[in-house]
Amino acid sequence: MKRWLAGLTLGAVLLSAQAAVDTFEFSSELERERFYAISSELRCPKCQNQNIADSDAPIAHDLRNEVYRLLEDGRSDEEVVDYMVARYGDFVRYRPALNAETLVLWFGPVFFLLAGFLAVFMLVRRRQRAAKDPLDTILTSEEQQRLDQLLEEKKSQND
C-alpha cells in the first residue's frame, strides 16, 4: 500500500512539474543579460502579473522566442521593446512610457492620494470649527433668533 501511494504521489509530482525550460544559445554573456533584462521588463499578456521570463504560458514562450530572434537579428533593446509594444500595446510593459495615453497611469494615484488628503483636511477643519461653537456653525442667524424666541417662550411658560 505504501509503495502504491508513493508511486501515485511521484506520478502526480512529475505530471504537475511540466514547466518549459527554454534553452537559448547566446553569442556572449552580454547578449544573455540583455535577453533576461528585456524578458523581465515585459508582462505576459495571459498571466498579467508575471513577466515573460517567469511565466509558463504558451504566449510567454512565444514572446521569449521572439525576443531572442530580435536580439539575434541585432536589434537594440529599445527596438525590441517598441516591437512588443506595437504588437501588444502599452500593457505589455511593466513601466509604460510617459505619454498622453498613460498620464492617468502615472499621475492618477498621486491625484487620488492628494484628493484624499484634501478631503480629510477639510473634514478636520469643519469639525474643529463646529467644536468651537456648535450653534454658530449649524444655525443661520434667522434660525438662531427663532431658537432664542422659542426658548424664551418655554421659559415664560414654566414660570
Beta bridge partners of 40: none
- Please, are residues 67 and 38 in contact by the beta-carbon 8 Å criterion? yes
- How many Cβ atoms are within 10 Å of 38's Cβ, its own excluded? 23
Q: Residue ranges of the chain with pLDDT lower than 70?
A: 1-2, 4-22, 133-138
**pTM of the predicted model, to two decimals?**
0.55
Chain segment 94-111, per-residue pLDDT in tens: 887 788 888 888 899 999
Helices 29-41 and 77-88, interaxial angle, to 10°?
Answer: 30
Q: Which H helix or E strand runs over 116?
A: helix 103-132
Q: Which H helix or E strand runs over 149?
A: helix 141-158
